Amino acid sequence: MLTSVVSGLAGSVPDRAPAYVFYASTASKFQEKNVLTSFLPAHAAPIVLLLLSNVFMTFAWYGHLNYKSHPLWIVVLASWGIAFFEYCLAVPANRLGHAVYSAAELKTMQEIITLVVFAIFSVAVLKEPITINHLVGFSLIIAGAFFVFKAPL
């Protein structure tokens, strides 16, 4: 039954299809049909998805700092709701990305993207300046990322 339901869904993919769609080729095996990489190169799709997921993540984790008068339970629920969309982008990013990058490379990309998104968010939304200490610290993290992607020393 599950096979027919999933197969039926895959056969009627709407114009606004999700990043990937599951369909069943047999009763026991699911395969992924990657919709996203049909218009993005395989190495770029995870980067785009990680960038978008980090925007959601940053708002979920730090956006509430501008709303300190709201009760904590409301902020937690709102952040959790925002984080759901972050996961909807991050999980496919890592699934697709692992076909092209190692897990360590994916994690390193995610951390660098997080730093960039957070720096922009910090200045634009929280109105907090980026200091020289922040820049030095971020630069050291980026230097570490270089060695993750560098061929063996």
> What pLDDT, on a 0 to 100 scale, did the predictor assign at position 29?
40
Q: Are residues 29 and 43 in the same domain?
A: no
Q: Are residues 20 and 45 in the same domain?
A: no
Q: Quote the pTM value.
A: 0.71
Q: Are residues 48 and 113 in the same domain?
A: yes
Number of independent structural domains in the chain: 2
Q: Per-residue pLDDT averaged across 147-151, rounded?
A: 83
4: domain range?
1-34
Q: Are residues 104 and 50 in the same domain?
A: yes
User: By the 8 A CB rule, do 36 and 45 touch?
Assistant: yes
Residues 43-89: tens digit of each pLDDT = 899 999 999 999 999 999 999 999 899 999 999 999 999 999 999 99
Q: Are residues 10 and 57 in the same domain?
A: no
Q: Are residues 68 and 136 in the same domain?
A: yes
Angle at the Cα of 104 from the Cα atoms of 99 and 108, rounded to 5 degrees? 110
Q: Are residues 74 and 110 in the same domain?
A: yes
**Looking at the predicted structure, is the pLDDT value of residue 130 above 50?**
yes
**Looking at the predicted structure, is the pLDDT value of residue 27 above 80?**
no
DSSP code of residue 18: -
> What pLDDT, on a 0 to 100 scale, did the predictor assign at position 131?
95
**Looking at the predicted structure, is the pLDDT value of residue 22 above 60?**
no
**Looking at the predicted structure, is the pLDDT value of residue 2 above 80?**
no
Which of 37, 54, 53, 147 has the alpha carbon at shortest distance from 98?
37
Q: Are residues 6 and 69 in the same domain?
A: no
Q: Are residues 119 and 48 in the same domain?
A: yes
